[in-house]
Amino acid sequence: MNDLLQIIDSPADLKKLERHQLHTLAHQLRAYVLDSVSKTGGHLSSNLGTVELTIALHYVFDTPHDRIVWDVGHQTYPHKILTGRRDRMHTLRQQDGISGFPRRAESEYDTFGTAHSSTSISAALGMAAAAKLKGETRKSIAVIGDGAMSAGMAYEALNNAGVMPDCDLLVILNDNDMSISPPVGALNKYLARLMSGKFYATAKNVGRQVLGGVPPLFELAKKFEEHAKGMVVPATMFEEFGFNYIGPIDGHDLESLIPTLQNLKELGGPQFLHVVTKKGQGYKLAEADPVAYHGPSKFDPAVGLVPSTAPSKKSYTQVFGGWLCDMAAADHRLVGITPAMREGSGMVEFERRFPARYFDVGIAEQHAVTFAAGIATEGLKPVVAIYSTFLQRGYDQLIHDVALQNLDVTFALDRAGLVGADGATHAGNYDLAYLRCIPNMVVMAASDEAECRAMLTTAFLHDGPAAVRYPRGTAAASHAASGSTATLAPLAMGKGVLLREGPQAARSPASAPRVAILAFGSMVTAALAAGETLDATVANMRFVKPIDLELLRDIAQRHDLLVTVEEGSIMGGAGSACAEALCEVAIVRPFLHLGLPDQFIDHGDPVQLLARSGLSEEGIVTATRERLVQMARCEPTGAGELREPRLVVNNG
C-alpha cells in the first residue's frame, strides 16, 4: 500500500484523502512517531495517544485559520508531522532543530506556545474574543489533557468563557487518565467511589443477571458502564460553567471523532468535547508502562527500554530523593509535597516508605506553595520538590503566603539552569534573581552531591523559608570541604569556602593583576579548572543569600579583578548580589559577571549551550583575559595618563 504519510505536507493534503484512507494514515503516523522518537528521544506515550485526534482535527477544521492550542504541548508530534515538519523530526529537541513543544516562530500552525500546562483554554478564549472583535469567523480550539485540567487556571478560563456565549470556543478534554505521575484529585476519587459504591455494584450485578442471556443488551450495558463517569459527573459540571457538553467518546475511533467534530464545527458558543484516549496507544510496551515511555532517550522499538548495566553516577534528583528519605526517617515532622512530578523530582521511594507524609497536589503549583504554608503553620516542616521553572507559577504565593509570614518551608529546586532538550520553557534560569530579592529567604546553590545534601539539611533545619537549587543531570564529584554524602550535617549559615588560593605577593606596578573567581553552584567545577589556568583564587560561595560578606570583603581587598560565575540570569543574579554587598561597605573593585545572557536560550546539548554562553572552563578563561586587557588599557598612571595596553596574565 502507498505510504500516505509521505504525501501529507499540510492539512490541505490531508483533506484530499477519502475517509477510509484515514485509518491507514493513522497507522502510518503512529509508526512514524515511534520510529522518530526512538532515534532522537522525546515524549512518546502522549503522542502515540493523540494520533487519531490530531488527524480528525486537521481533517475537519480549516487550520491555521481555525486556531488549535495544544495543552500540554508535548503531545504535538503528530501535529508537527502533519503540518509540514515531517522531514525535520530527526532534529527534534536538538540544537537548531525543531522544538518538542508548539512554538509560534516555528510554524503558523503553532498558534500558542504551551510547554507549561493549563494555559490553553485562556489562550483559545482570548483568540475567540479577538476574532469576534475583528468580525472574523473562525473556531478557537483548546485541546487540554486531563492532568492539565487539575490546575486552577483552567477553571478560571472555563468560568470566564461561560459568560461569553458569543465566542466560538471548543474545549476538547483529552482524557487518558494519566498526566505524568498517576492522576490525583477529588473528582477522580469521587468517580472511583461512585463506581465502587453499593448502589452501582448492585445495579451492575442485577444487569448482569437480567441481561446476561441477551448478548446485544449486555454489551450495551457494558458500554454504558465504561462511560458512566462521563455521563454522571462531567456533563453536569461543565454545563454549569455554561458549556454544551458532549461525550465521552472514543478518541481513537475516527468514525466517532470526525462526525462529532463536524457537528461541533457548526455550533456557536462554548462547546466542550470529552474524548477518551490511551497513552502509548498502538505500542504495547508504552501502553503497559506509559510513565517509563513518557520521555525516553533513544531506544530500539523492537526491544524497548533496556536498563543500563553500566555503573552510573547519581543524579542530583536521586541525591535529593535519598536525602528526603533519610531526613524523613530522622524527623517525623517532614512532609513531602510535589505538583504532579513524583518521578521527575525523585520522590517515588519517599512515597513508598512514608505514604502518609507524601502529597501530590496535581498540576497546581500555586496551591502547592500555599498548601505547604498551611502545613508549616501547624509546626510541621514541609519540603516542596519543584522544578525551578515551575516555581515561577507560584511566585505570588511564595512571597505573600510563605516569606511574608516567615513560614518554615523548604524548596528543593530541581532543573536549575539550562535543561537541554526541553529548551527555554523549562530552563531554570531565573530563580537566583527572583528568590534573592524576597525578604526572609535563604538561597543556596549546590556544586556537588555532598554539598547538595548538606544544603538541603541546612534549609530544613533553618527556621524560615529556604531554597536549594541544583541542576539537571549527574551530580559532580565532591570538592574539597564539601562534606559527607551520608550524613545529615548542615553547613554554617551564610558561609562560603575558598577552594584555591592564587598568588598573594604584594603588588608592584609591574606585577600581574590578581584575579579571584567567585563561583556559584554548578559552575564551581569549571571555575576551579579556569582558576588553575589563570593561577587565580577560586571561592565556592555556596550562599546567594545571605551572601558571605566576610569572605567577599577579604577576597576583594586582596584581588584586583573579581569574576562571578553562575548558571543563571546575569541580570539580578548572584554576581549582582556580590557587587551590591561590596557597594554597601564602600569597597570598589572591577567585576566581570559571567552567567546566562539576557535572552531565551533554545534547546540543545547542555554542555554546548553552556559553552556558547561562555560558561565552560575555556569561556571563563577567555572572558577573564579579555577583561584584564581592557583594564590594562584603561589603567591610569601616576601622571593621570593611560598606560599602553599590555597582557598581564599567565597564559598557562
Q: How many CB atoms lie within 10 A of CB 237?
A: 14
CATH number at residue 542: 3.40.50.920
| Residue listed under C-alpha cell 462529532 | 260
CB 143 within 8 A of CB 70: yes
Kindly give the interhelix angle for 524-534 and 617-634, rounded to the nearest 10 degrees: 50
> Do 358 and 246 lie in a common domain?
no
Q: Which of 412, 459, 466, 411 is nearest to 438 (CA)?
A: 466
Residue 247: per-residue pLDDT: 82
Q: So what's the pLDDT on residue 588? A: 94
Burial class (CB in 10 A: 0-12, 13-18, 19+), 651: exposed
| Parent domain of 115 | 65-74+91-281
**Do 365 and 234 belong to one domain?**
no
Question: What is the per-residue pLDDT for 487?
Answer: 85
Contact 546, 442 (CB under 8 A): yes
Does 11 fall in a domain? no
Residues 211 and 267 in one domain: yes
The verdict on residue 646 lying in a domain is: no
Residue 14 pairs in a beta bridge with: none
Q: Tell whether 529 and 461 lie within a shared domain.
A: no
Backbone angles phi, psi at 134, to 5 degrees: -90, 0
Helices (runs of H) and strands (runs of E) counted in the chain: 26, 17
Determine the Cα–Cα distance for residues 545 and 578; give it in Å rounded to an integer: 10
Kindly provide the b/e burial profile for residues 511-524, where b requires at least 16 CB atoms within 10 angstroms of the residue's own CB: ebbbbbbbbbbbbb
For residue 223, being part of any structural domain is answered with: yes
| Phi, psi values for residue 71, rounded to 5° | -145, 115
Closest to 426 in 3D by CA, of 470, 385, 469, 387? 387
- Look at strands 537-540 and 515-519 and give their pairing: parallel
Nearest to 171 by CA among 100, 67, 96, 22: 67
Nearest residue to 465 (alpha-carbon basis) of 532, 403, 526: 403
The whole-angstrom distance between residue 40's C-alpha and the CA centroid of its chain comes to 19
The C-alpha atoms of residue 262 and residue 142 are separated, in whole angstroms, by: 16
- Whether 53 is covered by a domain: the verdict is no
**Are 200 and 259 found together in one domain?**
yes
The answer as to whether 56 is a domain residue is no
Both ends of the chain: CA-CA distance in Å?
Answer: 65
Which burial class, exposed, middle or buried, applies to 493 when counting CB atoms under 10 A from its CB (0-12, 13-18, 19+)? middle
In a shared domain, residues 561 and 508: yes
Please enumerate in sequence order all residues whose Cβ is within 8 A of that of 4, keeping only pairs 6 or more positions apart, or say none: 17, 21, 24, 25, 28
Tell me the catalytic residues: 279, 365, 393
Listed residue (606, 503, 596, 519) closest to 562, CA to CA: 519
Which pLDDT does position 506 carry in this prediction?
55
Looking at the structure, do residues 95 and 222 belong to the same domain, yes or no?
yes
Helix (H) or strand (E) holding 195: helix 186-196
Contact 163, 193 (CB under 8 A): no
Amino acid found at 397? Q
Co-location of 452 and 512 in the same domain: no
Q: Residue 623: inside a domain, yes or no?
A: yes
Flag residues of the chain having pLDDT under 50.
1, 179-212, 226, 228-232, 637-652
- Smallest CA-to-CA distance from 296 within 3, 544, 34 is with 34
Q: Is residue 356 one of the residues assigned to a domain?
A: yes
Helices 51-60, 21-40: crossing angle, 10 deg rounding: 130
pLDDT tens digits along 416-455: 999 999 999 999 999 999 999 999 999 999 999 999 999 9
Q: Which residues pair with 563 in a beta bridge?
A: 517, 592
Residue 400 CB neighbour total at 10 angstroms: 13
- Output the CA–CA distances (angstroms, integers) from residue 54 to 83, 137, 357, 440, in the order listed: 11, 22, 40, 48
Give the amino acid at 5: L
Residue 484, pLDDT score: 66
Q: Which residues contact 351 (CB under 8 A, 6 or more apart)?
A: 336, 342, 358, 360
Do 463 and 541 lie in a common domain? no
- How many alpha carbons lie under 13 Å from residue 226 in its C-beta half-sphere? 13
Residue 642 forms part of a structural domain: no
Both 330 and 454 in a single domain?
yes
Q: What is the CATH number of the domain that holds 425?
A: 3.40.50.970
What tens digit of pLDDT does each residue of 526-564 get? 999 999 999 999 999 999 999 999 999 999 999 999 999
Q: Where are the alpha helices (DSSP H) in 65-185?
A: 77-80, 120-134, 152-161
Counting the structural domains of the chain, the total is 3
Whole-prediction pTM value? 0.85
Co-location of 521 and 380 in the same domain: no
Query: Is residue 227 located within the same domain as residue 106?
Result: yes
Q: How far apart, in Å, are the Cα atoms of 379 and each of 61, 138, 406, 439, 463?
A: 55, 54, 13, 21, 11
